[in-house]
Structure 1
Amino acid sequence: MSEQGLNTVSFAGRAAASSQFKALYSEGMSLVEETASYLDGTGRAASKVLPRMASVLYAAESMRLTTRLMQMASWLLLQRAVNNGEMSREQVMSEKSKVRLDGFNVDRNAPGWLDLPEGFRDLVERSLRLQNRVAILDREIYRPADPTVLPDNENSVRAQLNLLRTAFGN
């Protein structure tokens, strides 16, 4: 087996253990706190005066919002634990299987969406952007390793050149 695969640098893995991850972690946890504060305060008062359709939508979307944020917070806490050596990658993989980072999208064309308070819609939009960033990082960090192993005497550039020669006959 070639050692080339062992020398591959995982940029996503490094980003997950860097100051960029710390900023993402901080942003995520701050958004959780901000949302909780909003929903318990300003949002609660605003939801009481919404038209019926918007009121129903507010209830549904606030549940999706809190679920989305809790899933992201779980992922961020797991990643922080592996970064700090508190959990092994295998332990995190086992726990991470319980975390969903997709499927919480929003229908901005739903009846009543534009009647929702602007502050609430802003929290939803920010949570969706954060969810997307976390999901991308998750896919990059935890995707299966490339099973392609080159023969010891072949490097990746030569392998690509050989593929091109085979495809184009030169």
Structure 2
Amino acid sequence: MALLVEARNYVAFQEAKDQRGLPPQVRLQISYESLRVTSRLTQVMAWLLALKAVHAHELTADQVLGDQFALSGGAICSDPSGPDNGELPAGLRSLLQRSHSLYMRAERLEDQYRRSVA
């Protein structure tokens, strides 16, 4: 949750400041990478909420195993690039690295969950 709040605060309050005076291609890259952070966190939160619903007996394990609740955005969300791009602001690079780490952990947990239920 702390990472989600930090990402929200970055997009709401810092992103525009970081883009001032930068060339258009760098501003576009900042916007793209911010969306990647948002996508990763949205996917992870949705999957965790579905898993929580299983534990609360609001959904069945079979329902959560379907495509509707699966992590998606694989190629974009699992791409580790971004934190090494020196043109990006340090705060965004940190969010990229941490959101990637979280997404990859969730992907491994989802895989383990699928194997344990199947």
In the superposition, the TM-score normalised over structure 2's length comes to 0.83
For structure 1, the residue ranges without an aligned partner over 5 or more in a row are 1-28, 147-170
Match of 1:47 in 2: 19
For structure 2, the residue ranges without an aligned partner over 5 or more in a row are none
Of residues 96, 109, 115 in structure 2, which corresponds to 1:137? 109
RMSD: 2.3
Of residues 30, 33, 45 in structure 1, which corresponds to 2:5? 33
Structure 1 residues 121 and 40: alpha-carbon distance in aligned structure 2, compared to 1, 3 A threshold = same
Q: Give the letter aligned to residue 81 of structure 1.
A: A
- The answer on whether the counterparts of 1:72 and 1:101 sit within 8 Å (CA) in structure 2 is no
After superposition, give the CA deviation of every residue in 1:86-124 in whole Å (9 maximum; x if it has no partner). 211122123324x316322143498xx212110111001
Identity of paired residues, percent? Answer: 28
Match of 1:80 in 2: 52
Q: Name which one, 1 or 2, has greater alpha-carbon Rg.
A: 1
Q: How many pairs align?
A: 115
Runs of 4 or more, structure 1, over 6 Å off, are none
- The answer on whether the counterparts of 2:19 and 2:27 sit within 8 Å (CA) in structure 1 is yes
Match of 1:57 in 2: 29
Distance 2:49 2:100 in 1: 18
The SS at the match of 1:85 is coil
Q: Which has the higher contact order (CA 8 A, sep 6+)?
A: 1
Considering fraction of residues, name the structure with more helix: 2
